Each structure stands twice: as structure tokens, then as C-alpha cells.
A and B are shown apart, each in its own frame.
Chain A
Amino acid sequence: MAALGSGCLVLSLAICAYGIVAAIYGVRSKRMEFTDSARRAVYALAGVLTVAFAVLELAFLRNDFAFNTVADTSSRTTPALYRAAAVWSSQEGSLLLWAWLLSLWSSLALFLMRRRLRDVCAYATAVLLGFGGFFVSLMIFYATPFATTSPAPAEGAGLDPLLRFPTMVIHPPMLYSGYTLCTIPFAFAVGALLTRRIDAEWIAATRRFAFAAWLCLGVGILLGARWSYSELGWGGYWGWDAVENASLMPWLTATAFLHSLMIQEKRGMLKVWNASLVLATGSLAIMGTFLVRSGILNSIHAFGGATLGVPFVALIGVMVAGSIYLVVSRRAALRSEHRLDSLLSRESAFLANNLVLVGLCFVIFWGTYFPLISEALNGTAASVGPPWFDRYTVPLALILVLLSGIGPLIAWRRATLASARRNFAVPLGAAAIAVLALLAAGVPGRPLAIALFACAAFVFASIGQEFARGVRVRREIAHEAVPAALLSLVRRNRRRYGGYIVHVGIAVLFVGVAASSSFQHATEVGLSPGSSTRVGAYTVSYVRPTATVTPAADAAHTGSSMSLGAVLDVSKRGHHVATLRPSQGYYDSGEPTQGSVGQLIGGQAVSHISMSEGALRDVWSAIAPNISTPALQRIVDAGNRTLPPQDAPIALGYLARQYLQHPPAAQFHFIVSPLVMWIWIGGAIVFGGGLIAVWPPPSAVVRRVSVRARPRSAGDPVRA
């Protein structure tokens, strides 16, 4: 079966080569049948890669350890869901996932565009097949998923326990969908620049794909943060790690693009800027994919010694150089039709938003690639830590939130100063009240956090005001009840009000971030059963220890041999708040030198954190039990001496009993973070609002404005 997979890869490469040639020949000689054939080549690529992916998936599900990838990352004891997800936990498998998702999204995009923008689509097809061919070549020549060993090993190494969480199952496909979707607007931009057709039709098409990329990438990033927070024994959701930053950067440029595209649509301005943003987003997405695999940067995910660096650098070089060449050589077609009318206009606010977003991207880019820069400049690879990132990103984020509240208050083209003053009154008042209320409530003085809360209050009041006024307008026209008016208001003006909802979500998200980072209480302490400690306003008591021993064949479990933990009682001012059950799972190390029993628990230990989530705060706990006490060690040593490997699990029962009867003090890590839940809720609001903004309106709502009306004179009633 592996031969079928390899055959699919070779066939895919042939399809890509044919498609590129056919597309370019077709568009240059104006023979539509060839561009159609090239588009179908993309469909064929999707089909063939689906077969290849299915072959690999089946190998994992059937435990076919002849496949090297399966033997390296899966085992008979890995639960089925994680076996299926293990496909993309390795280099080779993740390359296949990337190529497959690229082919699927490209097929969809080209299918939707099959009757429009024909010339642009032809070049876009060639570019997308170029990417496909690149990734397929990587698989064929560097890291094939279909390498086999014969005879097949009897058992595999197993999936890393750290990845055996549902969030980690969905995070890579979501993120890869985001990355691959970023290449589609890139391809269409290349096509549009080559054919000099940066017009309204291109705008409408690109916006859809850019939004899809923005959505998937954003959800992928949020899921990654959620996984880090709720599963890892670290208790944080963002660490400014290189791979986190690598996924954030294209998302920032995509956000900027979605905004500035509106200015190009309305005023014919910023064409060079938009083209550059789209090309940058695609390039950053490829750079992000490259970072994880190349080992050029020290990070949690990236490793030294991988072989894929050189081809990726070549691809990125071609993309960047090509982009610059295209923009410069087509600058005549990218000339602005108008200039900015007035500084007090929504266009200005959008421009400012763009500058802040690109500024953020630059800061993150600099900090992420700094080790390479410093190495080039003075020989040592030095890296900057989270405090440096925070110092620059926090103020920029503050300005961004503030802008998202200012934008709704001013009109397009040119706002009237008097009305602007009127409109700002309530939101400014809300911000002032928020600051006073926080200070009066005795919130400790953290100026940046309080500034952010003030900006968020500004945003809520500003957008609330917009909704209120819009509902009033709607009721004047259609005399509907308030809820119906609200619904029809949003339905008829999806882009505007969907966008407002997104901004509310962003403000909520940042409120959660500010509160949970500035006002957190954390403690690391050793506790014995019966003792307790204070964390912030809460008292945490260690009630009793827990111990579970799992037979290796229990497929429903995450596969740990034994797990030791504690039952904790959390109370506030004497009232019981929550019961937490953190534990530490011990896994098989597979090293016989540790002894038959020692090997069962000598592998990686994975912390299973326990937390109580609430609207106002999260109480998070992790435990690191002490398994090297003399009493426990005696049991392990005795087991090593007397028990053969197949009977070794008996000793685990003794270990567990010993731990329960005479529990040693364990190390605990407690964190009380306010308002963390609002980060996830804010994220959900952002993406929900985004969906509302791009949802196509029902055709009945698209009203034809009668344009040939006579010129208006003062005193004419405004027609609805």
C-alpha cells in the first residue's frame, strides 16, 4: 500500500508540472481549453492527494508498523482518535496534510471563480500548483511519509502524551488550513498584478479568500492558546514563542488587508499597499511553515539539525523577490485614483489601524528573527524574551483597541467636526467612569491595564451607541419592535454591524488578557495532606492523595501507566468554591535499563492540570508528586529485582497503595487569574462577528438605489 502512496506523490508532481505549463500556455495563447484543463489539474491533484492521505490514515488506523511514520509516532495502545491524528504529528505526515489542504482549498477557490477573472485565475492556478509541487517534491525527495521498513516492527513508539488532547487534534488542521488559505489571495494577487487587473472584481473575490484565511488562522491560533492554557502544566496561554509569533504575523497582515481593502474599494487608493499586504501575508505564512521545520530558531517546536531549511529559504526568496518585482513593475496600474479627503474620516482611522497592525507585525518579526539578525551582525545568536515583546506590543494593542472604538464614530470621506464632538461625548464619558470606578474599587495601580480597560469601555460605549442609533433609524423607517429592528438592521448592513461585533470581541478579548496578566496571583508551594495555602483571596487545602493504575491495554485512557494526584478543596472566606483534582501521569519509557518496573514509570511525566473556570476568575492547579521517596524507591527496586516485564504492573499497585497510605509532600503550582474566560468568549465573538460580516445578504435585501433621481435640493425629505 505504501507503493500506492508513493505513486500518488509522483503522479501529483506530474500533475503540478502539467498544470503550470497548461495554465501559462492557455492564458498567453488565449486558448481557454488549456486554462480549463489546468484548473481541472488542481481538482485532480486534490483527488490524488486525498488517496495518498487516505492510504496514510488507514496505515495509522490499522497499526501498519511497516510504515516508518506509523512506527515512530503511534502504537497499539494509542487510542483510535489520537492514532488518526498522529498522521500529522510527524514531519512527513504534516507535509502531506499541508499539501492536501492546499489542494482542497485551491480546488474550491478555483471552482468558485471558474467563470470570472479568467486570466487572473489562470496565473493563480499556476502559482498554487507551484506551491503544491514544492511540497510534494519535499515529500518525494526529503521526507516521504511512505517509507517502509521490512520486516515491520511489532510495536510502535507511541504518540507523545503531550499531544493526546482533543484540542491538539484539531489545532494543526485548523492552523494549516489558515496557512494554506493565505496562499490563495497571494496567488490571485500575483495573477492580478501579472494581468494588471487590480479592479473591483478582484477586490470582491480576494476579500472572500482573505477572510477565510483570517478566520481559520485566527481560530487555529486561539485553539493553540487554549490548549497551552488548559492542558500544559505551565498555566499560560501565550509565551511569545517563535512558532506562536510565526502564526500571528500573517494574521495581523490579513487583518490589515481586510480593512484597507475597503478603502481601495471606496476610493481607489492604497493599491500598492494592498498588493504588498497580500503578498506579505502569503510570504509570512510560508515563513511560518518553514520556522517549525527548519531548526533555525530555538523554540519549543523548532529543532536543530533538520534538513528542510534550504528548500524553504529558496522558496521564500523567490516569493519575496518576485513580489517586490511585481509591485514595482506594475506600479503604473497601481496608481491611486484619489487622495485622502480629510484627516477626520473613517478612511483615516482605517489607515491608522493599518499602520498599527503592520507596526505590531514588524515588532514581532524583529523579535522573532532577532537571533538570526544578531548572529549575522555580531556572531552570537541572542534572543529577546517576553518582557521585550510586551513592552512594545502592549501600547500598540492599546492604540488598536482605541481605534476600533473611534472608527464607528466618524463617517466615510469626511466627517463633520461638530457631529464628531457630539458622538464622542458618551464613549469618552464611559471611559472616564470606568477609570474612576476601577480606582475607587481599589484595583491596584497598573497603568497599562487600567488604560486598556478605559479603552475597552470606550469601545463598548461607542459601539453600543451605534447599535442604539441604528435601531432607532430602523424603527423610524419600518416601525418594528426593538428586537426585530435590531435583527433587520444587522441583516441589511452586515459588513458594518458584523464589523462592530468583531471589534467588541477584540475589546473583550484584550480585557481578559489585561486582567489575567496584570492581576494574577500565583504560588508554588509544597503541601502535605491536611495543609493549606492562600492564593489571592482563595484558600487551597490538600484534602487527600489520589492514585490510579491503568492497564496498558486500556485504550480509552491517554495511556499512562500510573497517575498520582491530589484532591484539593478551594474556598473563599470559608465558603467552598471548587474541588480540584490535578494529577501527574507517568508513562512507559521503553528503556529496559531502568528495570522492569522503573521503565513503566520512567518515561515522560505529563501534568494533568485541574482548574475551576468562572466568569470572574479561573483557579488553576498543577501537581508534581514526589515519587523518589525512599519508601517508593524500595518498591521500585524490589520490583526491578524480582518481577519480569510482563508482571511488572503488579508493582504499580503496591506503589499506588504506598502513596495513598503514606503520601509525601508534593509540589503544587496554583494560579488565580481574573477574567481568563473572556479571552475565549471574546475570540468566539470576533469570529462570529466576522462570519456575520461576510455572510452574503439575501437578494431581497439588495436594494437598487434609484440613481437617476433629480438632484436633491434642501427641503427634500430623505427617501429611505
Chain B
Amino acid sequence: MNPARKRTARLVAALSAALVLATALIYTSFSAASPALSPSQLLHRAQPGRSYQLTGVVVGGSVRRAGGVLYFAVADRRGSSNVPLSYTGTVPDPFHEGREVIVTVRKEGARFVGERDSLITKCPSKYKAAPAGERQNY
């Protein structure tokens, strides 16, 4: 094979490999992903057995520990829907009532169970937007 054809062959091989990798990547990402839902969306749409990423605010007064299990409820940022769940696993330091959390949950029967070690709590108020209506003096 002359050099030019060798080069083209190499290019085709490399591109094909990249294409295969990209396809595998894209395909598995859609099937492996868990949709991010707010509590109200979760209550409406959750199907048993599938896992979802629940994002919301920890409801004040709902946090309870019994044995090695943490019980708490997650509410919409603005709204009234409330999802109680039980969780085992690492609890991040910033976890606290009123903080925003992300936790992967599955619906088991009528209850929601958090997946082990999937609880993430957002670093509090680092980059919060200015509250509406507050005037800034320069």
C-alpha cells in the first residue's frame, strides 16, 4: 500500500473507533441517567423501581434519626409539595433543615427510599442572588 492510502486507512480506522466510542457513550448515558425532579414532579410521575434525582429543600422539623437510618422530607423550593423519605449512608456536613439537597431515590411501594451514599447537600448561601427588592447602596 502506498503511503497515501496507508494514511487514509489509518484516518478511517481512527474515526471509526471514535464513532464507536461516542455511540456507546451516548447510548449508555441516556439509559443510565436518572431524571432530576422536584418533589411535586416526583409525586406525580414516579414509577416504582426507577431511580430519580430529587432536588429540593429539607423541610424544617422533619429530620429524625433512628438506628442507622435518616428520615427527612424534601419540599419544593417554592411550593407546598412534600416528599418524606428514608436514607442510609453518608450524610454530608452541610446537611441541615432549610438547605438544598440532591438525593437519588426509588419508589418502593408507597414510600421513597434514598439510595445509599447518594445524598448531596449544597454549600449554603455562597453565591446567593440578592433578595428581591433590596436596594444596594454604593
Specify the chain A residue showing the minimal Cβ separation from B117: A234
In the complex, what residue of chain A is closest to B55 when comparing beta carbons? A298
Shortest distance from the beta carbon of B116 to any chain A beta carbon, whole Å: 10
Note all chain A residues with C-beta closer than 8 A to B26: 366
Task: Identify which of A378-386, A425-433, A646-654 touches chain B.
Answer: A378-386
Q: B110 on the interface (CB 8 Å rule)?
A: no
Q: Do B104 and A385 touch (CB < 8 A)?
A: yes
Residue in contact with B93 in the complex, picked from A6, A149, A162, CB distance below 8 Å = A162
1/0 per residue, CB under 8 A from B, across A608-642: the answer is 00000000000000001010100000000000000
| 8 Å CB interface, A1-59 against B | 2-3, 6
Q: Are B127 and A6 in contact (CB under 8 A)?
A: no
Q: In the bound complex, do residue A383 and residue B126 qualify as a contact, i.e. CB atoms below 8 Å apart?
A: no
Among A187-195, A301-309, A691-699, the stretch in contact with B? A301-309
Pairwise interchain contact A300-B122, C-beta atoms closer than 8 A:
yes
CB distance from B88 to the nearest CB of A (A): 8
- Which A residues between 281 and 324 are near B, CB-CB below 8 angstroms? 292-293, 298-307
Task: Say whether, besides A371-B36, A381-B36, A626 and B55 are in contact (CB < 8 Å).
Answer: no
B16 interface residue (CB < 8 Å to A):
no
Chain B proximity mask over A90-132: 1 for CB below 8 Å, otherwise 0: 1100000000000000000000000000000000000000000
Most chain B C-beta atoms within 10 Å of own C-beta, residue among A6, A68, A234: A234
The interface size bin for chain B is 35 or more
- Rounded to whole angstroms, the CA-CA distance of A97 and B75 in the bound complex is 35
Q: Which residue of A lies closest to B120 (CB)?
A: A300
B48 an interface residue at 8 Å Cβ cutoff? no
The yes or no answer to B137 lying at the interface (CB within 8 A) is yes
Do A233 and B90 have beta carbons less than 8 Å apart? yes
**Chain B contacts for A343, CB-based, 8 A:** 10
Q: A603 — nearest CB in chain B belongs to which residue?
A: B96
Q: Are A374 and B33 in contact (CB under 8 A)?
A: yes
- A604 in the interface (beta carbon within 8 A): yes
Which chain B residues (64-107) contact chain A, with CB distance < 8 Å? 65, 67-68, 77, 88-94, 96, 100, 102, 104
Structural contact, B90 and A147, CB atoms closer than 8 A:
no
Cβ 8 A contact of B126, one of A301, A305, A367, A370: A301
CB atoms of B126 and A90 under 8 A apart: yes
> Cα distance A380–B32 when bound, in Å?
14
CA distance A458 to B118 in the complex (A): 36
B100 touches A303 (CB 8 A): yes
Q: Which residues of B contact A162 (CB under 8 A)?
A: 93-94, 123
Please, which residues of chain B bring their CB within 8 A of the CB of A387? 32
* Contact indicator per residue, chain A 434-451, by CB within 8 Å of chain B (1) or not (0): 000000000000000000
For B123, list chain A residues within 8 Å (CB). Answer: 160, 162, 300-301
> Are the C-beta atoms of B25 and A303 separated by less than 8 Å?
no
Please, which residues of chain A bring their CB within 8 A of the CB of B36?
298, 371, 380-383
Point out the residues of chain A lying under 8 angstroms from B92, CB to CB: 232-234
Compute how far the CA of A525 lies from the CA of B88 in the bound complex, rounded to whole angstroms. Answer: 11
Say yes or no: is A524 at the interface (Cβ < 8 Å to chain B): yes
- Name the distance in Å between B125's Cβ and chain A's nearest Cβ: 8
5 residue pairs from A and B, CB less than 8 Å apart: A234-B90, A303-B100, A339-B3, A380-B36, A607-B93
* Interface residues in chain A, defined as those with a beta carbon under 8 Å from any beta carbon in chain B: 2-3, 6, 68, 72, 89-91, 144, 146-150, 160, 162, 232-235, 241, 292-293, 298-307, 339-340, 343, 355, 359, 362-363, 366-367, 370-371, 374, 380-385, 387-388, 391-392, 524-526, 603-607, 624, 626, 628, 667, 669
- Which B residues lie at the A interface, using CB under 8 A? 3, 7, 10, 14, 18, 21-22, 25-26, 28-30, 32-37, 53, 55, 65, 67-68, 77, 88-94, 96, 100, 102, 104, 118, 120-129, 136-138
Given contacts A3-B138, A382-B35, A382-B53, 10 further A-B contacts (CB under 8 A): A144-B136, A303-B100, A303-B127, A359-B18, A381-B36, A388-B33, A524-B88, A604-B93, A607-B93, A667-B68
